[in-house]
A and B are shown apart, each in its own frame.
Chain A
Amino acid sequence: MAGLRLRGVHKFYGKVHAVRGIDLEIPDQGFTVLVGPSGCGKSTLLRMIAGLEVVDEGTVEVDGAVVNDMRPKDRDVAMVFQNYALYPHMSVFENIAFGLRMRKVPNAETRERVHRAAEMLGIPELLERMPRQLSGGQRQHVAMGRALVRDAKMYLFDEPLSNLDAQLRDEMRTEIKRLHQELRTTMIYVTHDQVEAMTLADRIVLLRDGVIEQEGDPLELYERPTNRFVAGFLGSPAMNFVPARIEAENGGLGVRLPDQTVLALPEGRRSAYADQVGKTILIGMRPEHMHRDREGEQRDGFGRISVTVEIVEPMGANTLINFHLGETSILARLDAYAAEQPGQKLDLLVDMNRAVLIDPESQRVI
Chain B
Amino acid sequence: MTATTMRVGQRANLFADRNFKWLVIAPSIIVLLVVGIYPLVYTGIVSFQQITMMEEDTSWAGFMNYAALFSDGRLWESFGHTFLILAIALPIELVLGLLMAQLFLEKLPGKQVFIALLIIPTVISPIVAGSTWRLMFDNQYGPVNQIIGWFAGEPTAILWITRPEWVYPAILICEVWQWTPFMFLILLAALSNVDRSLIEAAEIDGASFWKIFFRITLPVIRPVMVIAILIRALDLFRIFDIIWAMTKGGPGSITETISIYTYIRAFKEFETSYAGAIAFLVIILLSVIVIFALKRVEIAR
With a cutoff of 8 Å between Cβ atoms, the chain A residues found around residue B222 in the complex are 89
| Chain B residues near A (Cβ < 8 Å) | 195, 197-198, 200-208, 211, 215-216, 219-220, 222
Known: A85-B197, A102-B211. A52 touches B203 (CB 8 A): yes
From the candidates A72, A82, A83, A88, name the one contacting B203 in the complex (CB within 8 A).
A72
Is A146's CB within 8 Å of the partner chain B? yes
With a cutoff of 8 Å between Cβ atoms, the chain B residues found around residue A85 in the complex are 195, 197-198, 200-201
A78 contacts B204, C-beta separation under 8 Å: yes
With a cutoff of 8 Å between Cβ atoms, the chain A residues found around residue B219 in the complex are 87, 89
A71 contacts B203, C-beta separation under 8 Å: yes
Is A92's CB within 8 Å of the partner chain B? no
Which residues of chain A from 83 to 103 have a CB within 8 Å of any chain B CB?
83, 85, 87-89, 98-99, 102-103
B197 contacts A81, C-beta separation under 8 Å: yes
Is A262's CB within 8 Å of the partner chain B? no
B207 contacts A102, C-beta separation under 8 Å: yes
A99 contacts B195, C-beta separation under 8 Å: no
Query: Can you name 6 A-B pairs with beta carbons within 8 Å?
Result: A50-B204, A51-B204, A78-B204, A85-B200, A88-B220, A99-B206
Is A77's CB within 8 Å of the partner chain B? yes
Cα separation A98 to B212 with both chains bound (whole Å) = 11
Which residues of chain A from 7 to 28 have a CB within 8 Å of any chain B CB?
none
Cα separation A269 to B191 with both chains bound (whole Å) = 63
* CB closest residue in chain B, given A50: B204
Majority secondary structure, B binding face? helix
B206 contacts A103, C-beta separation under 8 Å: yes
A99 contacts B220, C-beta separation under 8 Å: no
A87 contacts B198, C-beta separation under 8 Å: yes
Cα separation A81 to B222 with both chains bound (whole Å) = 24
Cα separation A78 to B202 with both chains bound (whole Å) = 10
Cα separation A103 to B204 with both chains bound (whole Å) = 11
Is A73's CB within 8 Å of the partner chain B? yes
With a cutoff of 8 Å between Cβ atoms, the chain B residues found around residue A150 in the complex are 205
Interface centre among A71, A77, A102 (most CB of B within 10 A): A102
With a cutoff of 8 Å between Cβ atoms, the chain A residues found around residue B202 in the complex are 87, 98, 102
With a cutoff of 8 Å between Cβ atoms, the chain A residues found around residue B216 in the complex are 87
| Chain A residues near B (Cβ < 8 Å) | 50-52, 71-73, 77-79, 81-83, 85, 87-89, 98-99, 102-103, 146, 150
A77 contacts B204, C-beta separation under 8 Å: yes
With a cutoff of 8 Å between Cβ atoms, the chain A residues found around residue B211 in the complex are 102
With a cutoff of 8 Å between Cβ atoms, the chain B residues found around residue A51 in the complex are 203-204
A98 contacts B197, C-beta separation under 8 Å: no
With a cutoff of 8 Å between Cβ atoms, the chain B residues found around residue A52 in the complex are 200, 203-204
With a cutoff of 8 Å between Cβ atoms, the chain A residues found around residue B204 in the complex are 50-52, 72-73, 77-79, 99
CB of A53, distance to nearest CB on chain B (Å): 10
Given contacts A88-B220, A99-B205, A102-B211, 19 further A-B contacts (CB under 8 A): A51-B204, A72-B200, A72-B204, A73-B207, A73-B208, A79-B201, A79-B204, A81-B200, A83-B197, A87-B201, A87-B219, A87-B220, A88-B198, A89-B219, A98-B205, A98-B215, A102-B202, A146-B201, A150-B205
Cα separation A78 to B200 with both chains bound (whole Å) = 11
* CB closest residue in chain A, given B200: A52
With a cutoff of 8 Å between Cβ atoms, the chain A residues found around residue B195 in the complex are 83, 85
Interface centre among B195, B198, B204, B208 (most CB of A within 10 A): B204
Cα separation A81 to B202 with both chains bound (whole Å) = 12
Cα separation A191 to B114 with both chains bound (whole Å) = 41
With a cutoff of 8 Å between Cβ atoms, the chain A residues found around residue B215 in the complex are 98
B197 contacts A89, C-beta separation under 8 Å: no
Cα separation A150 to B206 with both chains bound (whole Å) = 11
Cα separation A360 to B205 with both chains bound (whole Å) = 49
CB of A106, distance to nearest CB on chain B (Å): 15
With a cutoff of 8 Å between Cβ atoms, the chain A residues found around residue B206 in the complex are 73, 99, 102-103
CB of A90, distance to nearest CB on chain B (Å): 8
* CB closest residue in chain A, given B198: A85
Q: Which are the 5 A-B pairs with shortest beta-carbon distances?
A: A99-B205, A85-B197, A102-B206, A85-B201, A89-B219
Cα separation A318 to B176 with both chains bound (whole Å) = 74
Known: A87-B216, A89-B220, A89-B222. A81 touches B207 (CB 8 A): no
* CB closest residue in chain A, given B223: A89
Cα separation A73 to B216 with both chains bound (whole Å) = 15
With a cutoff of 8 Å between Cβ atoms, the chain B residues found around residue A98 in the complex are 202, 205, 207, 215
Cα separation A282 to B212 with both chains bound (whole Å) = 55
With a cutoff of 8 Å between Cβ atoms, the chain B residues found around residue A71 in the complex are 203
CB of A39, distance to nearest CB on chain B (Å): 19
With a cutoff of 8 Å between Cβ atoms, the chain B residues found around residue A99 in the complex are 204-206
Interface centre among B195, B197, B205, B215 (most CB of A within 10 A): B205
Interface centre among A71, A73, A79 (most CB of B within 10 A): A73
CB of A33, distance to nearest CB on chain B (Å): 20
Cα separation A258 to B220 with both chains bound (whole Å) = 63
CB of A93, distance to nearest CB on chain B (Å): 14
